[in-house]
Amino acid sequence: MKRVGFVSTRLAGTDGVTLETYKWYQILERNGYECFFFAGELDTPQENSLLEPKAHFDHPDILEVQEQCFGKTTRRASLSARIQELKDFLKSRLYEFCGSYNIDLLIPENALAIPMNIPLGWAITEFLAETGTPAIAHHHDFSWERKRFLISAVQDYLQSSFPPNLPSVRHVVINSEASRQLSYRRGLSNVIIPNVFDFASPPPAPPNGMLLREELGLGDDLFILQPTRVVPRKWIERAVELVSLIGLDRPRLVVSHEFGDEGDLYAQRVQEYARRLGVEVIYIGDKIGPARCFNTTCDRPYTIDDAYLNADLVTYPSGYEGFGNAFLEAIYFRKPIVVNRYSIFVEDIEPCGFEVITFESFVSHELIDRVKEALEPHNLGWIVEKNYEVGKKYFSYEVLESKLLPLIASFR
């Protein structure tokens, strides 16, 4: 089993699924596996990839179908027929992909978890049922974790394919709560493999050095970074409140990513709220390109690495996260971090012993005092170094390797 095929809606950019896929790819490549890729958008090596636009969740044909599937409990016969038609087409492309590259093992990346593309999930399920191809389904978030998928006219598809119950499939989740829910809701055994980072390789010096700080006009001011997409569950208002209370001459919050897949209304809301509190929110998503991912060519002046390396403090006030990529990134780049104690952090990350500045849903003056204390030079050094060592122990590539390789060996 040395030829592995990754399948997803998108393997490009800086979203969490793409970044974690890249880490799995690195681990497999260094252990002698050859990897291939199938998705609707790809940054992967062209000679090992099959691009199928209809696998993407934002393809017009898929969007037309998806809009009719949720928020209601029945569907027209014509919708069922259209989903079947798209499923059959995508399944034929999967047969072509696996046949062309002689795939031994398939790894669906979130395509069998969250129903962003129902025909694709159904196509993967039928392909696996028909061929018995061994598969490791890597689940990042499920339909029951998102309000927009709770009312559905496609419950039959969700039950059969998101995720499927097939003898050739091993299921991997990224946190303890997802593991419990998958067992409870679907009766499926699973393995927890957390998100990881390459702590054995310290971050390289960025080619643009401190140019980002200068371009944003921050000078010697505090560079406070919110390194997430702009979507409501990130609770960016809490970061705005923190910046407003910290006592800066020019209160500014830098947001690294572009708007998410839920529109720009939330970004406008954050801007309006920030104006009331006298905080300037600087969105730099148009300046930040992908980094540490496949063979991506960055056509923008900076990468997310530049944002972290220039930052003095990282804010992570999310109300919910499937795991916490940005948390690990802040630890890797040796930055102090302010974290809202979201549920997955409390259960799977906090017990590891990180020295971070935590709060419970709201920002207080006591929190500001702890932030200022952590930023003192005599505290900052030992805090970030301790965190790096804890990250290396619990969330390194070596941890991923120790869990993933035995899982693959279990098929033999």
pLDDT in tens, 254-307: 998 876 555 688 889 999 999 999 999 999 888 887 666 776 556 677 888 889
What's the token pair of residue 317? Answer: 């006030």
Do 1 and 103 meet the contact criterion of CB atoms below 8 Å apart? no
What sections of 195-315 are H helices per DSSP?
A: 211-215, 236-245, 265-276, 304-310
As a whole number of angstroms, the distance between CA 214 and CA 217 comes to: 5
Give CA 125 to chain center in angstroms: 23
In this predicted model, what pLDDT tens digit does every residue of 67-113 receive, in sequence order? 999 999 999 999 999 999 999 999 999 999 999 999 999 999 999 99
CATH fold of 3-196+397-409: Rossmann fold (3.40.50)
Segments in 101-175 forming alpha helices (H): 118-131, 155-161
Strand pairing of 302-303 and 191-192?
Answer: unpaired
Q: Decide the pairing of beta strands 105-108 and 224-226.
A: unpaired
pLDDT tens for 297-353 read: 566 778 888 899 999 999 999 998 888 889 999 999 999 999 999 999 999 999 999
CA atoms of 167 and 364, how far apart (whole Å): 51
Mean pLDDT of the chain: 93
pLDDT for the residue numbered 203: 83
**CA nearest to 161, candidates 134, 195, 122, 116:** 122
**Taking 70 as the threshold, does the pLDDT of residue 119 lie above it?**
yes
- DSSP code of 346? I
- 269 contact partners, CB below 8 Å, separation of at least 6: 237
Token output for 170 = 């091993």
Helix, strand or coil for residue 109? strand
Which amino acid would we find at residue 135?
A
3-state DSSP assignment of residue 267: helix
At 234 the pLDDT is: 92
Residue 9 CA to residue 232 CA, distance in Å, equals 23
In tens, the pLDDT along 237-257 reads 999 999 999 999 999 999 988
* 276 or 218: which leads in pLDDT: 276
How many CB atoms lie under 10 A from the CB of residue 149?
Answer: 19
DSSP string, 15-59: -HHHHHHHHHHHHHHHTT-EEEEEESSB-S-GGGEEE-GGGSTTS
Question: Residue 197 and residue 377: Cα distance in Å, rounded?
Answer: 26
**HSE of 274 in the Cβ direction (CA atoms, 13 Å)?**
24
Q: Domain 211-394 sits in which CATH superfamily?
A: Glycogen Phosphorylase B; (3.40.50.2000)
pLDDT score of 304? 85
Cα separation, 188 vs 165, whole angstroms: 7
Q: Which residues pair with 38 in a beta bridge?
A: 7, 50
Nearest C-alpha neighbor of 239 from the set 75, 77, 357: 357
Q: What is the pLDDT of residue 289?
A: 73
Of 242, 280, 274, 253, nearest to 366 by C-alpha is 242
Which residues of the chain are in CATH 3.40.50.2000 domains? 3-196+397-409, 211-394
- pTM of the predicted model as reported, rounded to 2 decimal places: 0.91
Report the range of poorest mean pLDDT among 167-171, 210-214, 257-261.
Answer: 257-261
What are 120's two structure tokens? 């694709």
> What tokens does 284 get?
């730099």
Which pLDDT score, from 0 to 100, does residue 12 have?
A: 87
